[in-house]
Amino acid sequence: MNLAQKGIITSVKQIAMRTTEVVIKVPADFNFIAGQYIWLQIPILKYPDVKGNTRMFSISSSPNKKGELGIVFRNTESGYNKTLTEIIPETEVIFSGPFGPLKLPENNSLPIVFLAGGIGVSPFLSMIRFSNENHSSRKIILIYVNTNEKEIVYLDELRKIEKENSNFKLYCTCGLLKERVLKDSLGELINQKVIWSVIGPKGFVDFVSKYLNEKGISPQDIIFEQFYPDPSLKND
């Protein structure tokens, strides 16, 4: 169902440097697949924005959390972004979705490697949480890159999942991604049949793509999520 629906903001909080989490109460029958996104419309902009009052956000929460969904984003100076970071809980919003083909593959036998740059980790969070809650036998490796440690989101939760779930492995690094980090993190996986998924800023995606291509991995075997299909409407 992709029709516009009403939601209610229940929580707005800063969870890392220049990073905000928003939780939205949604109808109990709203369902989505881990990895999908919504369009979120704010009724009134507190600050003007030439791009309007609607933006796209990947859902970071698990589909198992019925009646609510979470989004996480970097704070910017856009009127939309500033309004959303200051929005008062109990504010009614309009959302539509879910949208997007990104999802966990049905074949559990192949390991999946998520390579996330910055807030590109959002849809991966939903898939990791969902897979962990469902005690999936799928092996997931997350290589998570941020500018600095203060911008890392949900690190404690990810470390807890890694500690309790032998099928999940976390590699977290800061600064510019280097080939050495990929080599050390991937190990023999680079020579095995693996599902690859890459999301992040253009420079990050280009660097990872080049590395994987040089290792003999075809672009056709890599899932690239076009996070914001229309640059004019991205949350910046």
Give the start-end residues of each E strand in 86-177: 92-99, 112-117, 140-146, 168-174
Query: Does residue 227 register a pLDDT over 70?
Result: no
Query: Does residue 87 register a pLDDT over 80?
Result: yes
Q: Residues 207, 177: contact at Cβ < 8 Å?
A: yes
* DSSP 3-state of 183: helix
Q: Within 10 Å of residue 205's Cβ, how many Cβ atoms? A: 20
Q: Write down the pTM of the prediction.
A: 0.92
Q: What is the mean pLDDT of residues 13-27?
A: 97
Angle at 61 between CA 25 and CA 166, to 5 degrees: 150
Query: Does residue 100 register a pLDDT over 70?
Result: yes
Query: Does residue 226 register a pLDDT over 60?
Result: no
Query: Does residue 126 register a pLDDT over 60?
Result: yes
The torsion region of residue 108 among left (phi > 0), alpha (psi -120 to 50) and beta comes to alpha
